[in-house]
Amino acid sequence: MSPPSLIDAHSNLSGIAPVALSYELFPPRSPAAAETLWTTIRELEATEPDYVSVTYGASGSNRDTAVELINRLLLETTLRPLAHLTCVGNTAGELAEIIGELLDHGVRGILALRGDLPKDGTLPASGSLRYAQDLIELIRRVEQRRSALLCAGKIAVGVAAYPTRHPESPSEGHDVEVLLAKQRSGADFAITQVFFHAHQYADLVSRARRAGVTIPIIPGVMPLTSLRRVKRLSELAGVEPAPELMERLAASNTEAEARGIGVRATVDLANAALDAGAPGIHLYTFNEHAHALDVLDKLALPRPARPGSRLHAVARRQEMAS
């Protein structure tokens, strides 16, 4: 008789896998924006996400505010930051310095991106890294040099993935080849660009799996509550929004009505991605918590109860001190 499989022997492994939850934030552009952001951060912290990602301007345009925000998240909250880092316009030496600075602050997760090329068509300075893949390899080299400092631990390296063709790419097939190349260079997971039709996410995942991509591909979902924002982001990302949703948002008479329509559409999109096997949901918050929390409430993600979480530990310490 053959021995029982590991899954049979550990039946608790076969239950519903918890779904990862994360949010995207961007560094504030003014003191007033910082105040709003910190209200958002506190509201989101209470939902105990697995991490929050912090965007980074192409060519490092907001390097100082990004690093400052990440540092405050590490020092003043229980949140784990995932630092976005773009490579276009920077040399390997400059980027190695930024990576080192992030690691010194305690960052252990980086989303390795190329960044958008300058709109005026100017070419990146010579010596600048060309692709996200080059940045992943650089991060792994820095990690290797610091392996004793990291207790031989790894930096979690994420990358971007595209449910609809990247605007500069010749085809969706090419996008999957690039994703596979990023995995081979050391990417651990991917977060997708916004998408407005669930089948686009499901198609990306099946194309990627057929090509040999095994890393988790987490759908990036924006609350579809603002017509202006959906239009702007779809232009920026080169993604066509669903016309029926746009019509319904445009026809809504009040902000509350638009919010109801948008939250429902977002929840349906996220649920369809989960039904297609998504291992988590990454919510683009635009530094506002209200709509993200509405979506989260209605999604009812299977999340583990975390009585031993850092947030509970901090609350207990505060209770004991008062």
Interacting residue ranges for ligand FAD, rule: CB under 6 A: 55-58, 84, 86, 113-116, 131-133, 160, 166, 168-169, 174-175, 178, 181, 191, 193, 220
Minimum CB separation from ligand FAD for residue 56, in Å?
A: 5
Is 96:137 a contact under the CB 8 Å cutoff? no
Closest to ligand FAD by CB, 234 or 248: 234
Minimum CB separation from ligand FAD for residue 12, in Å?
A: 32
H-helix segments, 84-224: 92-105, 132-145, 172-185, 198-211
Examine the residue annotation and report whether 24 is marked as an active-site residue of this protein: yes
Torsion of CA 95, 101, 105, 111, to 10 degrees: 0
Minimum CB separation from ligand FAD for residue 91, in Å?
A: 16
Tell me how far apart the alpha carbons of residues 158 and 113 are, in angstroms, rounded to a whole number. 9
Question: Which residue in 24, 45, 137, 143 is the catalytic one?
Answer: 24
CA angle 218, 220, 221 (to 5 degrees): 130
Closest to ligand FAD by CB, 104 or 177: 177
Closest to ligand FAD by CB, 26 or 143: 26
Minimum CB separation from ligand FAD for residue 174, in Å?
A: 5
**Closest among 319, 310, 316 to 51, alpha carbons compared:** 310
3-state class of 319 per DSSP? Answer: helix
Closest to ligand FAD by CB, 110 or 249: 110
Tell me how far apart the alpha carbons of residues 222 and 233 are, in angstroms, rounded to a whole number. 9
The catalytic residues are 24
